[in-house]
Amino acid sequence: MTVRVRLAPSPTGTLHIGTARTAVFNWLFARHHGGAFLLRIEDTDRERSRPDYTANILDGLAWLGLSWDDDPVIQSERIEVHRAAIAQLLASGHAYRCYASEAELEQMRERQKASGSAPRYDNRHRHLTPEQQQAFIAEGRDAVVRFRIDDGATIGWSDLVRGEMRWSGSDLGGDMVIARRAPADRIGDPLYNLVVVVDDAAMAISHVIRGEDHIANTAKQLLLYEALGLPLPVFAHTPLILNQEGRKLSKRDGVTSVGEFRAMGYTAEALANYMTLLGWSPPEGMGERFTLEQAAAAFDFDRVNRAGARFDWDKLNWLNAQVLHELAPTELREALVPLWQAEGWSAPGASPEAWEQELCELLGPSLTTLRDGVEQARPFFERPEPDEGARQQLQADGATAALTAVLERLEGRDASDSADSPELSVEQAKSLLAEAASAAGVKKGVLMKSLRAGLLGSLQGPDLITTWRLLHASGEDRARLRQALAQG
């Protein structure tokens, strides 16, 4: 069998993490078997589907590294094919027109609710005579098209994740609507369960891989495959992504779209890696840190769990930190500079690229997300307000003398024609500090803490010498020390 799988998102919202995880599993399975990973945009919900959502979905998949084969199929362009399939079912007697009004259906549901019965259509128009149909038409009633579901039917399939599955026709809610209301001489807009069967068959999909919330749909769709005489695909229903309380992950849990994770500073590599682990256990010895290509080489459904996968922020953060720490400074710079520019920041000095790269080398080992690379870089582009710890240090004994001694030597260096370069080397910085500590009569620790408080407005931060050198490139170190002395 040639493996052909598909992702069929609905462009009624942005790319959800659950849809993206389904895409990952489809992609891994296709690449493992040398097959095709296809896309179908299910845009038949005309009121809610939007082109910008389609663009968001395609952009998100591409960002994650999930390349697809062939152009996406646009479902709305195939509506006449879907109507032809419904006409075939009407002609074969597998489907019929139902003229029950919404008011009548609501009364039926209220009676079922009052009696404690499960909600289901009671198949009241399944056996209408031609005369009864004409009477409804004469009243001006429109009709939906319903597919007959035998309550006594048993529907079964072998699921790649969940094993042998069995459903009773009586559990499927009565005869299923497959086309919306329309005049009796027309077929209304085809609905999901019908169109997905027709399109999957047309695309020669060999395996339908989707979330377990589609299991009931699968039972209904298998009946449609049979009635239309179409070949059956293999089904695999993957576990849902759950929040920490064990409920399905939803917008109430905060971040749920791929775009939101991207905006928070998560990398495509880490997010794809993590989504692979949401329901799949890698083979022994593989570890939890891998690329999509490495996962594809090992992927199979024997290692996909049936139980729901709980979203673990700590695991995602760990993976993202691993990815960032493995980046070369040049690669990290490529990722961070656009974020810095979005803040309106630009590097100082005659060699801005070298300055940016040195800042990336300084911050890189402490990053968990790329947004950390913005917040941790902020004091290098914007003058910070000193926090409480910094204010106390600037008022401590010896702080004023220490910073005055440093500033005097910096200003003397600036004025001296003997300075080889406006840059401050590591050796020059260390020598200047030693001179300043001696001149001020303070211990080195007092000097270093005071300098950090003056430059960064905090007693916490990255390597002080490198920080100082970077701020010196624009003269910002002198300006901040003058301000610190004034505040102190």
Cα-based distances in Å from 329 to 325, 364, 365, 374, 380:
9, 8, 10, 15, 17
Average the pLDDT over each of 237-251, 318-332, 407-421, 463-477 and give the range with the smallest value.
Answer: 407-421
Catalytic residue among 113, 248, 251, 443: 251
- Reported as a single tens digit per residue, the pLDDT across 450-488 is 999 999 999 999 999 999 999 998 889 999 999 999 876
Indicate whether 67 pLDDT > 70: yes
Residue 247, pLDDT score: 86
Q: How far apart are CA 350 and CA 132, in angstroms?
A: 88
Residue 421, pLDDT score: 53
Residue 418, pLDDT score: 47
Going by C-beta distance under 8 Å and a sequence separation of 6 or more, which residues neighbour residue 442? 398, 401, 402
Q: How far apart are CA 295 and CA 280, in angstroms?
A: 10
E-only strand ranges, 230-343: 234-238, 241-242, 309-310
Indicate whether 420 pLDDT > 60: no
275 neighbors 63 (Cβ within 8 angstroms): no
Q: How far apart are CA 112 and CA 258, in angstroms?
A: 41
Indicate whether 1 pLDDT > 90: no
Closest CA to 452 of 414, 408, 396: 396
Region 88-93: mean pLDDT is 98
Region 245-260: mean pLDDT is 82
Region 369-373: mean pLDDT is 98
Eight-class DSSP state of 5: E
Pairing of strands 95-98, 36-41: unpaired
What b-and-e string marks burial along 200-213, b requiring 16 or more CB atoms within 10 Å of the CB?
bbebebbbbbbbbe
Query: pLDDT over 70 for what percent of the chain?
Result: 98
Give the CA radius of gyration of the chain.
33
The residue assigned the tokens 């646009």 is 74
Q: How far apart are CA 473 and CA 475, in angstroms?
A: 6
Q: How far apart are CA 470 and CA 380, in angstroms?
A: 8
Q: How far apart are CA 22 and CA 37, in angstroms?
A: 12
- Reported as a single tens digit per residue, the pLDDT across 303-336 is 999 999 999 999 999 999 999 999 999 999 999 9
The torsion angles phi and psi of 417, rounded to 5 degrees, stand at -75, -10
**How confident is the prediction for the chain on average, in pLDDT?**
94
Q: Is 186 helix (H, G, I), strand (E, B) or coil?
A: coil
Going by C-beta distance under 8 Å and a sequence separation of 6 or more, which residues neighbour residue 252? none
Region 430-440: mean pLDDT is 95
Q: How far apart are CA 260 and CA 231, in angstroms?
A: 39
Please give the torsion angle defined by the CA atoms of residues 407, 409, 411 and 413, in that order, rounded to the nearest 10 degrees: -150
Residue 113 annotated as catalytic:
no
Q: How far apart are CA 377 and CA 76, in angstroms?
A: 47
- Reported as a single tens digit per residue, the pLDDT across 2-32 is 999 999 999 999 999 999 999 999 999 999 9
- Reported as a single tens digit per residue, the pLDDT across 326-365 is 999 999 999 999 999 999 999 987 789 999 999 999 999 9
Closest CA to 35 of 203, 275, 159, 272: 203
Q: How far apart are CA 446 and CA 392, in angstroms?
A: 12
Give the global pTM. 0.90
Residue 488, pLDDT score: 66
User: Could you tell me which residues are beta bridge partners of residue 312?
Assistant: none
